[in-house]
Chain A
Amino acid sequence: MIALSLGEAEALARKAARGAGRSWGMAEEFGRAVRWLEGSGLPAMALLATLLARTDGMAATRLTPSWEANTGLVHPDATPLCPIALGTALSDHGITSCTLGRIGPVWAPVFVVPHLADMARRLGQDYWLICGETRVCVTAQGAYAGHDGPAPDQAQAAWIACAPCDAPPSVPTYHHARADCEAGVYNHLSRLAERLYAPETAARRQSGAGETRPGTD
């Protein structure tokens, strides 16, 4: 197990997402979501590795919901959604639970929670993310406040909904300072991240910074 700082976890998630074909802006959303989840004590690194393995190289359009003027966000396709694509769409459209019906299927549903937290803070209301028998609570301050039912660690695609929450199951949890990451997960994500790096050549090596003239240092 590798104890990553949250900054390392965020950077690794961002690079791995970009390596798996997401746009830079979406990759930033992955990084921030991982930081939020791990900082809240929710396991994200292993789920991320699974999510990116299943969606590696897929066109963004297949992973993203559509917007219908009358019905809001919809996903008529059977291909599971990317939870970050869904979360950003929710956040971008300023959707409330009143306008979001059930939607899915979506991979690793807990990855929608950070964007739901943004919405909860904006709307000043506690919310549930509901996925089967699991309900995850975020507060009006944008913090994780516990869950009901089975742990929100499902990598499989499932349908989700969100609804206002009257009584959070626990006090908000903040500031988990580390993200524990199994070596296999770390290696998988690192391999995706390495796709961003240009192979070394002699010319490229010379183009880096540093003294090459002897006796002047």
Chain B
Amino acid sequence: MTKEAAHSAPLGQEMIARRSPQTVMRLSRLGSFHQSRLSFMRVLLRRLRQERWRLERRHFAIDARGVGLAVYTMHGPERAYSLVAFGHDLPPEDRSDRVIATAWDATFTLFDGVPDASDIARLQTQIPLQEAGRVSARELSVSRANRSVRLFDHVVDALAAGRQPDAQLVDDVGYLMRTTAVYGSGKLGAADRTTIAMRPEFTAPFQVEMLTVWLIRAFVLDLVEEMARRRAPATATTIAPDLRRRFGIGNSTGLGMAPFLISHPILFNNWIMAREEALARVRALGHATAQSRTAFRDILARARQGLEMWRTDHPMQIVKLATLRADLDRLMAYVEQADLTEPRPWDQLWRWGENHLGTEAQELLLSLLLEPHGDLVDGLACCMSAEESDGFVIDGTMPVGRLRAILSDVYGWACDLDWSDPATQARTWYVSAAKQEPRLGETLHEELADYEQPLAPGRDAMRLLAVLQDWPSDAPIAGLLLAHPEHRHSIRRAQIAARHPYAEIRDNTIGANVMPIDMLRAKLSFFGAGYFDPRSDRWVRINMYRGAPFPHELHDLPMDDWAYPPHEATV
């Protein structure tokens, strides 16, 4: 984030400080984040609409079993991108969301431009293989999806019979297919992010992946309607537009995503910084306009309504959700009687929330406060990318004393832990030989020391701090780096964290009580996902683009008004 963006505030307003990293960067809080105006799905759809991107369904040849090929091309002001989709007929016993799966109901790539016949022929041999295939720099992403056992056949059967699907079932499940991986950024031979990062449409993070998923959703809805039509041409119907929009795309996300936040500290900092800056800007507003007061009350009611559509079986999330619903009721009652015409109304509301709401509801309140203030906060999306290499070079001239002070500040929480207690280091992050899948093992019960990944920054910082005791405070750390290369990664992280206050998770990532799903949720909320449904402590099912417009209606529906259900969508 630029200094200008990081420190600016509305003209004539007194600044309000961003929240402290010690408050924000705890795992329990990160695991309570919700989507917001700064989420990458919403950033993408705003841009596509503002720039009048249009969809061309160039090819669509799908049979009654869902097997075939489709090409969806989005045309923008300067470039075009094409989703190439392969439908497969997967036996139910082969269907698995695990990353170790080898077959899927549908496989996809996002192609840079418009593919010709030779491109399609090449992709046909590679994309269905996923990790076992190779793609080229013309491809920007590789992904796959599986059908929902609970909903897919029901929808096809209903449409074939000329009926609408059961709306209750649609809301209960929320998706027809789940993606189980969306690879971008040079994976499997695809184009590196650096080669496309300068394109305006891809400057915000994960726009390739978000565009891929949005087009997959469009394809999947077309797919079920086409399967129904092929099965029963005389009776088949299509899904009514309002119900159609209630289908999102599911996603199963596991431990593979968790290390990302630790491995990309500057990027993560910029996401959090933008979000915190957005909150600070809204809180600093001297007055609330009548329009913003109305908009806030409206979106609050819609958000409360949306909580009724959130399904989960996970004991922890059930409790969190119940508390969140009760807190939102309390918030609505407070807002009903609150005088938002007083000075600094949003700051007053925020401070009330800090004192009266749980963590989940506080973070939802943050998202809601941004909603009426797009003019003030949407521009921050351009600050959410990062050139990670900028923080790579270590300053070897830094005195040992300064490094010690940084460690004590950033990792103060770790100084307070008893690292001799086995529970403090109960877990070990490692990578399995099978498909190189990140996992979390039991330190005491498995021999994993030789395979440990560097995903315990707090523990490693404490080890470094212990070594520093033997070095004079005024000595440059270059000597230490020469003598102790095993601490090089920790010193790099500390220097990055000193410049980027939200770079580091300020919690123990290997403790007995660590919940990896907290990391997953933090990242997924920035994507714009909702309806978090943890399936264990280490993987979560979510919904993406639920309620969003489809490409063919993007320009006909209200701008960026899909993230909360419309008033009439009560279950």
Where the two chains meet, the residues of A that have a C-beta atom closer than 8 Å to any C-beta of B are 2-8, 22-26, 28-29, 32, 60, 64-67, 85, 88-89, 91-94, 118, 175, 177-178, 194, 196-200, 203-205, 207-211, 214-217
Contacts and interface: CB of A to CB of B under 8 A. Distances in A.
Contacts of B481: 88-89, 92
Contacts of B187: 5, 7-8
B434 A200 contact: yes
Interface string B82-114: 000000000000011111100000000000000
B545 interface: no
Contact of A210 (B137, B254, B397): B254
Contacts of B96: 210-211
Nearest to B146: A217
Contacts of B453: 196
Which one of A91, A92, A209 has the highest number of Cβ atoms from chain B below 10 Å of its Cβ? A209
A200 B437 CA distance: 10
A205 B476 CA distance: 46
A208 B485 contact: no
A177 B192 contact: yes
A7 B186 contact: yes
A209 B539 contact: yes
CB-CB nearest 5 A-B residue pairs: A209-B254, A25-B488, A92-B396, A7-B186, A209-B539
A94 B95 CA distance: 56
B252 A211 contact: yes
B462 to A, nearest CB: 16
Nearest to A210: B98
Interface residues of B, number: 68
A66 B192 CA distance: 38
Given A200-B433, A204-B432, A94 B489 contact: no
Interface string B513-550: 00000000000000000000001101100000000000
Contacts of B134: 2
Contact of A197 (B256, B431, B476): B431
Given A67-B478, A197-B431, A5 B189 contact: yes
B454 A216 contact: no
Given A3-B136, A7-B193, A177-B195, A23 B392 contact: no
B479 interface: yes
Given A3-B136, A67-B479, A92-B394, A200 B432 contact: yes
Given A5-B192, A194-B433, A118 B393 contact: yes
A209 B253 contact: yes
Given A25-B492, A28-B492, A199-B433, 4 more contacts: A5-B187, A200-B432, A204-B432, A208-B98
Interface in B383-411: 389, 392-394, 396-397
Contacts of A88: 394, 481, 488
Given A23-B485, A200-B433, A210-B252, A3 B189 contact: yes
Given A3-B136, A25-B490, A93 B396 contact: yes
B487 interface: yes
A141 to B, nearest CB: 14
Given A198-B451, A199-B433, A91 B393 contact: yes
8 contacts: A5-B186, A23-B488, A23-B489, A88-B481, A92-B478, A198-B448, A208-B254, A210-B98
B99 A208 contact: yes
Nearest to A25: B488
A209 B536 contact: yes
Interface of B: 95-100, 134, 136-137, 146, 148-150, 178, 185-187, 189-195, 252-256, 389, 392-394, 396-397, 430-434, 436-437, 439-441, 446, 448, 451, 453-454, 476-479, 481-482, 485-492, 535-536, 538-539
B362 to A, nearest CB: 28
A211 B192 CA distance: 31
A89 B433 CA distance: 34
A199 to B, nearest CB: 5
Contact of B137 (A65, A178, A196): A178
B98 A209 contact: yes
Contacts of A25: 485-492
Given A94-B396, A177-B137, A217-B178, A209 B487 contact: no
Contacts of A29: 488
A24 B482 CA distance: 14
B482 A208 contact: no
Nearest to A5: B186
A67 B482 contact: yes
Nearest to B185: A7
Given A118-B393, A200-B433, A207 B441 contact: yes
Nearest to A94: B397
A84 B256 CA distance: 29
A24 B253 CA distance: 26
Nearest to B481: A92
B150 A217 contact: yes
Contacts of A204: 432, 439, 441, 446
A197 B432 contact: yes
Contacts of B485: 22-23, 25-26, 60, 64, 85
B148 A217 contact: yes
A57 to B, nearest CB: 13
Nearest to A194: B433
A177 to B, nearest CB: 5
Contacts of A197: 430-433, 436, 451
B478 A6 contact: no
Contacts of A215: 149-150
B120 to A, nearest CB: 20
Given A211-B252, A217-B178, A4 B491 contact: no
Nearest to A204: B432
A196 B150 contact: no
B136 to A, nearest CB: 7
Nearest to B397: A94
A208 B432 contact: yes
Contact of A92 (B178, B190, B482): B482
Nearest to A93: B478
Contacts of B148: 217
A89 B451 CA distance: 27
A211 B535 contact: yes
Given A91-B396, A217-B97, A28 B489 contact: yes
Contacts of A67: 478-479, 482
B396 A207 contact: no
A135 to B, nearest CB: 24
Given A8-B187, A25-B489, A92-B394, A208 B195 contact: no
